[in-house]
């Protein structure tokens, strides 16, 4: 199935309560699949086409604020429109899943795949000091798997979580093993999981308020400290990464998502030429696997950071590496996917011969 | 609290003419003296208490003067981003169809920045209640021109009066949404006299009752004053409201049982 369809099917199977979205290429298949499957007749999952991405993200705020498991998906321009709502959800500490099937920008850009929303995804994106947990799948299988992983993390930490993919993986067809369906939570279980949520005040507790507002600076600083503590805990516990052919490597490609798939082919081409190169693939982009990259840096001769953007994740790699080895960037952008040959050539010219 | 009363023996149920609803939090309101928000808050809470639906009620507060409504209303509430309350309420009501859901919004929130969310929630026929406080001005930010500011009316961003050629016309959003098939009950009321308060409370009760029927949005506009923003005393403000706001925003039902009145 397509990556976008895998997201949709995995959401139904994860026991998701509601999807809210607005059509945008290259991810419209997510809502199309859901509307065709009609999960509201089977699991009870609600699917609603909103009037805009602004409405979608605020529907997420409402759903998450009342304890339900809710998600949206969009692509770059639509995700930009959602930034206000994501910031509010981070401030109000609400769990939800946001899927960004990235296309080239800036502006209306192109409908072709890109990875140029890395900064927006991992550095906050909206206003205020916050992060989302960001998962970067590199296969259709991971598109499906990360839906449940993302929801679990969202509820564990009470935070919005993003799956940052791209138009290539969203549109790509691969074989997928789907998890067994998990039933949606009953009302009682929703209230038990989210005792903080606005679900209707029983006589046994005081009223629950969902807000990011605290006009008292001391109160607002306290909220910020709580958020920062949460992000440190996330950095401690939630880092995921993959290393391929790194054991004997002299050089390392650092790449996420579709770029990592291209780098796998580039590894074979380079090794045929006798260049020992491996791949480090961050799976979580926030938290970023900085210690793992730092350690790797001590054993090799150089990093080539391969991204479909003008150089974004390379900044996190540079911040991670403590020793003086070359760290260079190779990227294509505007919707162009680099070829493995281009990647090997960049390694030879920028790192080995550089 | 009892010792405050000189004759506690007189506090018997048969002597009771009025009692503060338990659903208003016992703290000073942040509103200016003479403002209609406090009364509007009270009658909504009275309706929830009388209907005995506290454990089934979820409210959504706006950005504006009533941004802190959740500090005064002792019900579960969500504070929405500016204008987005109908989007929140849409999701809440759809995911909790057995709950009573209401939004409480001002004119800037509902009829300017949140116009799209308002119109589309109304057009989809969501089954929640919108309480719309229209005082023709942005109160919290210091008296700027609102979408419902009257022609010629002065505000801090229309200091010489609203010139409709430059600043556009007041938006009759209530008449606009009443024409949408998704609205079932649309009325315009006020809270500036005891009689008006009783009528508005009746309308709010009806709006909440209608959520059981699942026939669409119940929408109550409350035309209210802003004596601070209008630079008038509370008494003058109410008089000015009757003389100027009511002709532009006439009192009464606009749509009942899904049918436009008249």
Tens digit of pLDDT for each residue in B61-73? 999 999 999 999 9
Pick the residue of A44, A50, A59, A212 with the most B CBs within 10 A to test the interface with B by mutation. A59
- CA-to-CA dists, residue A161 to B73, B94, B171, B249, angstroms: 31, 22, 38, 45
Closest residue in A to B71 (Cα–Cα): A209
Q: Where are the domains of chain A?
A: 3-188, 241-352
A18 strand-pairing partners: A46, A70
Tens digit of pLDDT for each residue in A169-214? 999 999 999 999 999 999 999 999 999 999 999 999 999 999 999 9
Residue B11 is assigned to a structural domain of this protein:
no
ipTM of predicted assembly, 2 dp: 0.96
- Which structural domain, as residue segments, surrounds residue B236? 31-255
pTM of the model: 0.96
Pick the residue of A18, A50, A62, A203 with the most B CBs within 10 A to test the interface with B by mutation. A62
The answer to whether the CB atoms of A200 and B56 lie below 8 A apart is: yes
CA distance A89 to A284: 20
Chain A residues touching residue B140 (CB < 8 angstroms): none
Give me the total of CB pairs closer than 8 Å, taking one residue from chain A and one from chain B.
130
Q: B142: alpha, beta or left, given left = phi > 0 and alpha = psi -120 to 50? A: left
CATH 3.40.50.280 fits A241-352, yes or no: no
The answer to whether the CB atoms of A58 and B78 lie below 8 A apart is: no
Spatial contact of A107 and A57, defined as CB atoms under 8 Å apart? no
Chain A residues touching residue B116 (CB < 8 angstroms): 51-52, 54-55
Residue B154 is assigned to a structural domain of this protein:
yes
Residue B262 is assigned to a structural domain of this protein:
no
Residue B35 is assigned to a structural domain of this protein:
yes
Query: What's residue B3's pLDDT?
Result: 56
Pick the residue of B45, B82, B91 with the most A CBs within 10 A to test the interface with A by mutation. B91
**CA of residue B136 relative to chain centroid, distance:** 13
Instruction: Compare CB distances from A55 to B57, B96, B120 and report the shortest one's residue.
Output: B120
Return the CATH number at B210: 3.40.50.970
Task: Return the closest-CA partner of residue A256 out of A248, A245, A244.
Answer: A244
Tens digit of pLDDT for each residue in A84-122? 999 999 999 999 999 999 999 999 999 999 999 999 999
Instruction: Compare CB distances from B58 to A51, A66, A92 and report the shortest one's residue.
Output: A66
Q: For chain B, what is the domain count?
A: 1
CA distance B107 to B148: 7
Between the CA atoms of A80, A85, A90 and A92, what dihedral angle is there, to the nearest 10 degrees?
Answer: 170
The residue assigned the tokens 């338990």 is B22
Task: Return the closest-CA partner of residue A60 out of A76, A41, A79.
Answer: A79
CATH architecture of A3-188: 3-Layer(aba) Sandwich (3.40)
Candidate from A159-168, A324-333, B11-20, B51-60 with smallest mean pLDDT: B11-20
SS (H, E, C) chain B: CHHHCCCHHHCCHHHCCCCCCCCECCCCCCCCCCCCHHHHHHHHHHHHHHHCCHHHEEEEECCCHHHHHHHHECCEEEECCCCCHHHHHHHHHHHCCCCEEEEEEEHHHHHHHCHHHHHHHHHHCCCCEEEEEECCEECCCCCEECCCCCCCCCECCECCCCCHHHHCCCCCHHHHHHCCCCEEEEEEEECCCHHHHHHHHHHHHHHHHHHHHCCCEEEEEEECCCHHHHCCCHHHHHHHHHHHHHHHCCCEEEEECCEECC
The alpha-carbon gap from A51 to the nearest alpha carbon of chain B, in Å, equals: 7
The alpha-carbon gap from B240 to the nearest alpha carbon of chain A, in Å, equals: 33
Residue B17 is assigned to a structural domain of this protein:
no
Candidate from A74-83, B18-27, B37-46 with smallest mean pLDDT: B18-27
Instruction: Compare CB distances from A17 to B54, B88, B95 and report the shortest one's residue.
Output: B95
The answer to whether the CB atoms of A202 and B116 lie below 8 A apart is: no
Instruction: Compare CB distances from A200 to B55, B74, B81 and report the shortest one's residue.
Output: B55
Residue B197 is assigned to a structural domain of this protein:
yes
What confidence tier does B1 reach under pLDDT thresholds 50, 70, 90?
A: very low
**Arithmetic mean of pLDDT, B117-127:** 98
């Amino acid at each position: 199935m397509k990556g976008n369809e895998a997201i949709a099917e995995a959401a139904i199977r994860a026991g998701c309560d509601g999807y809210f979205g607005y059509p945008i290429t290259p991810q419209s298949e997510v809502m199309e699949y859901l509307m065709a499957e009609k999960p509201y007749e089977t699991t009870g999952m609600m699917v609603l086409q909103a009037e805009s991405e602004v409405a979608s993200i605020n529907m997420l705020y409402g759903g998450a604020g009342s304890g339900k498991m809710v998600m949206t998906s969009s692509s770059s321009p639509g995700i930009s429109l959602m930034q206000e709502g994501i910031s509010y959800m981070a401030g109000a500490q609400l769990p939800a899943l946001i899927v960004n099937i990235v296309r080239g920008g800036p502006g209306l850009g192109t409908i072709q795949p890109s990875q140029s929303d890395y900064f927006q995804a991992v550095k906050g994106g909206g206003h205020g000091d916050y992060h989302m947990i960001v998962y970067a799948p590199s296969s259709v299988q991971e598109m499906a798997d990360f839906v449940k992983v993302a929801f679990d993390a969202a509820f564990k930490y009470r935070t919005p979580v993003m799956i940052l993919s791209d138009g290539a993986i969203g549109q790509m067809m691969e074989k997928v093993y789907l998890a067994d369906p998990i039933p949606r939570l009953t009302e009682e279980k929703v209230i038990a999981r989210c005792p903080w949520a606005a679900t209707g005040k029983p006589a046994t507790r005081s009223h629950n308020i969902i807000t990011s507002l605290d006009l008292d600076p001391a109160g607002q600083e306290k909220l910020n400290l709580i958020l920062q503590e949460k992000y440190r805990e996330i950095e401690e516990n939630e880092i995921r990464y993959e290393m391929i052919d790194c054991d004997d490597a002299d050089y390392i490609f650092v790449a996420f998502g579709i770029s990592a798939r291209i780098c796998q082919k580039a590894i074979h081409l380079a090794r045929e030429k006798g260049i020992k190169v491996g791949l480090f693939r961050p799976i979580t982009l926030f938290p970023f696997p900085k210690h793992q990259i730092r350690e790797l840096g001590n054993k090799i001769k150089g990093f080539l950071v391969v991204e479909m953007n003008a150089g974004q994740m390379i900044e996190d790699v540079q911040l991670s590496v403590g020793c003086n080895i070359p760290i260079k960037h190779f990227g294509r952008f505007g919707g162009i996917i680099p070829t493995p040959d281009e990647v090997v050539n960049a390694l030879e010219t920028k790192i080995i011969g550089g | 609290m009892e010792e405050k009363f000189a004759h506690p023996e007189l506090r018997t149920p048969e002597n009771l003419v009025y009692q503060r609803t338990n659903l208003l939090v016992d703290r000073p309101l942040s509103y200016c003296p003479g403002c209609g928000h406090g009364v509007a808050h009270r009658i909504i809470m009275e309706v929830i208490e009388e209907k005995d639906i506290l454990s089934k009620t979820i409210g959504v507060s706006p950005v504006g003067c009533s941004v802190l409504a959740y500090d005064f209303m002792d019900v579960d509430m969500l504070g929405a981003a500016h204008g987005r309350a109908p989007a929140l309420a849409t999701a809440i009501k759809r995911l909790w169809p057995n709950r009573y859901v209401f939004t409480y919004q001002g004119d800037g929130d509902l009829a300017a920045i949140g116009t799209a969310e308002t119109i589309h929630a109304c057009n989809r026929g969501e089954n929640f209640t919108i309480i719309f406080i229209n005082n023709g001005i942005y109160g919290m930010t210091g008296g700027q021109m609102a979408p419902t500011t009257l022609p010629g009316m002065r505000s801090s961003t229309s200091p010489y009066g609203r010139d409709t050629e430059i600043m556009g016309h007041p938006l009759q959003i209530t008449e606009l949404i009443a024409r949408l098939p998704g609205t079932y009950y649309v009325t315009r009321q006020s809270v500036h006299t005891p009689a008006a308060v009783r009528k508005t409370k009746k309308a709010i009760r009806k709006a909440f009752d209608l959520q059981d029927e699942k026939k669409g949005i119940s929408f109550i506009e409350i035309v209210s004053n802003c004596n601070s923003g209008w630079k008038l005393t509370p008494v003058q403000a109410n008089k000015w409201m009757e003389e100027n706001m009511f002709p532009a925003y006439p009192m009464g039902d606009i749509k009942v049982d899904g049918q436009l009145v008249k």
